[in-house]
Each structure stands twice: as structure tokens, then as C-alpha cells.
Amino acid sequence: MTVNAHPLREKYTRSHVARTTTCPGCGIGTVSQAILRAIDGLQLDIDDFVFVSGIGCSAWIPSPFYNADTLHTTHGRPVAFATGVKLGLPHKHVMVVSGDGDLTAIGGNHLIHAARRNVNLTVVLVNNGIYGMTGGQTAPTTPPGIKTITSPYGAMEPHFDVSAMVSAAGASYVARWTTHHPRQMSRAIRKGIEKEGFALIEAVSQCPVQFGRASKIGGAVEMLKYFKENSVRRDKALGMEPEQLAGKIVVGEFADRRLAELTAQWARLRSDMAEGS
Ligand SMILES: Cc1ncc(C[n+]2csc(CCOP(=O)(O)OP(=O)(O)O)c2C)c(N)n1
Ligand code: SF4
Ligand SMILES: [Mg+2]
């Protein structure tokens, strides 16, 4: 049987590795396509990118599939590795792609400090609200009341509002979209790549196997319906009361500003020192 390959897949992925490691219906494919569409839309050469990921299902998006330099690092550490790569190779586009557990639990400090330092990175944080790969444990992003394998009576703790947190930490660009909004997500990734500064795109994504099943929301279709019905645009949300926003997913841009960027500051210092000033 002949399978027609998607042009983005042909152009940007390695043909000799297995096509996917994800479960059927997982949102990871949608996020991956949003990333590749952004790169394609900007007409950038994927060879000018370094992709850095941690550990988890989402961390498999670039590595080993993208036909580019990829660094598959330890759990929680991709932002630290990426900071080193960017400072050493400032001419490269450095993109981190990893999960909510990786980037906000064990790697939470790296994330907020990279945002504070305003390192010129694009971080695509796949937020499926759970530790998908390790069996569906509660994450710092699991919404209150949601049942998981480690919260059978419903998650008790408040969850991180990742986009608000990274925006408050000082990032230059922050946006949140769900897999129900693939075009907006891709446009946000595009803006993040173009932004000179720390950019975070929170990609709310379905994990039907762990999150959907334990929470009883259902499979991929039901989860996408859930995202559609519960998403509220940020401009509308700003006029709503906290009680009205309970259980809602606020989507849109949280930050888009021009701030001093770390790599450029280092470059300036080096050139000043070379000139003896
Ligand atoms: C130091 C360390 N602690 C724990 C783990 C086990 N571990 C691997 S992935 C993961 C969580 C993954 O969750 P997330 O980042 O949200 O990715 P997802 O699978 O949901 O995409 C954990 C706890 C590990 N590999 N290394
Ligand atoms: S466990 Fe969840 S996040 Fe991981 S591949 Fe399967 S559906 Fe996707
Ligand atoms: Mg996760």
C-alpha cells in the first residue's frame, strides 16, 4: 500500500526513523505540525535550528524525528541546556520542546529564571495536564478536581497558570492555545521564533490515554470538544470574575514586549571589551 506523505514530513523529518512514538489521538502530532508550519511559513532552514527537549512523551516531538540538530537531555533540564547552546551559538534559533511536567515541575526553576534573564529561546511547552509517559500521575498543571491515577478523588492542589507565571517572570512573548486552535498555535510559534527574547508558547494538548481516561472526559474527540467548549479568549477573560473562569482555559497572548535580551547583552559586552572601552 502506498501512503501519501505529508509535505512537511517529507521536508523536515528524517525518513529513516520510525514515524511516531505516540498513542493514537494524542495531541502531540498537532503541536509538531504547528511547529513545522511556523518554520516553513517563515521560510527558515531547519539546519539553522537546534531543538532541545527533556524527558516525556512531548520531548519526543523533535528528537529523533526532525532532520536538524536535536539535543535530548535529562528530565527537567532542557532550558538549562538550551541557554548554554544559545550563548555558545547565538546565530542559531534554539527551540525547546517539552512537557508540562518536565518544564514546570522538576524544571520549573530553569523555566522562570530563563524568562527572567530573557534569553532568546522559543519554548513550546506541551501542557497535557499530566505526566503522560510515566503512567498519568498528577502534575503541577493538573486542574483542581481532575481525577488521575495519583488523585483518584480529584486533584486537591491548585495548579500553575503557566502562561501567567512565565509572563510575570519577565518573558518577552507568551501565548497559550489548544490543539483545537492549530492555526493560532502555529502563528504564535512563528511570533515566538521571530521575537528577540524569551518566548513561551503553551500548547494545551490532549493525552486521551492518561488524562482523558482517568478524568472521564473521554478520548481524543471528546477532549478536543472539551477544549473548544471551555476556551475563553484572553481579552474576554480580562472582564470576567474568577468564579466565571473556574475550569476555563484562557487562550491568546499574555505578553508581547521588547526587553533587554541576554545574548545581545553579552555580545555587546564582548565587543566593548575588545575595543578596550
Ligand atoms: C530525574 C528524573 N525523575 C523522574 C523521571 C521520570 N519521568 C520521566 S518523564 C516524567 C514526566 C513526564 O511528564 P511531562 O513532562 O508532562 O511529559 P508528557 O509525557 O506528559 O508529555 C517523569 C516523572 C526521570 N526520567 N528522571
Ligand atoms: S501517553 Fe498521552 S501524552 Fe503520551 S503519547 Fe500517549 S496520549 Fe500522548
Ligand atoms: Mg505532560
Residue 244's domain is classified under what CATH number? 3.40.50.970
Our mutation pick for probing the ligand 1 site, out of 52, 124, 126, 131, counting the most ligand atoms within 8 A of Cβ, is 131
Q: Is residue 4 part of a domain?
A: no
163-185: pLDDT as tens digits: 999 999 999 999 999 999 999 99
pLDDT at residue 149 in the model: 96
Q: Is residue 39 part of a domain?
A: yes
pTM of the model: 0.97
Residue given cell 509517559 in the structure block: 133
Q: What phi, psi does 154 have (nearest 5°)?
A: 105, 135
Q: How many domains does the chain have?
A: 1
Span between the terminal Cα atoms of the chain, in Å: 68
Q: Is residue 3 part of a domain?
A: no
**Ligand 1 atom, smallest distance to 210 CA:** 20
Q: Is residue 77 part of a domain?
A: yes
Beta strands in 54-135 (DSSP E): 69-72, 93-99, 122-127, 130-131
Residue of 252, 105, 241, 132 lying closest to 187 (CA atoms): 252
d(CA 53, CA 68): 13
Q: Is residue 167 part of a domain?
A: yes
Q: What phi, psi does 53 have (nearest 5°)?
A: -135, 165
Region for 36 from its dihedrals, namely left if φ exceeds 0, alpha if ψ lies in -120 to 50, beta otherwise: alpha
Q: Is residue 9 part of a domain?
A: no
**Ligand 2 atom, smallest distance to 211 CA:** 2
Length of the chain (residues): 277
pLDDT at residue 2 in the model: 45
pLDDT at residue 3 in the model: 52
Residue 116 belongs to domain spanning: 23-275
- From edge to edge, which strands make up the β-sheet containing 173-178? 69-72, 49-53, 93-99, 122-127, 199-204, 173-178, 249-256, 231-233
pLDDT at residue 21 in the model: 81
pLDDT at residue 9 in the model: 86
Q: In which residue ranges of the chain is pLDDT below 70?
A: 1-5, 277
Q: Is residue 14 part of a domain?
A: no
Residue 185 C-alpha cell reads as 498555535
With beta carbons less than 8 A apart as the criterion, state whether 257 and 200 touch: no
Amino acid at 163: S
Nearest CA to ligand 2 atom 8: 26
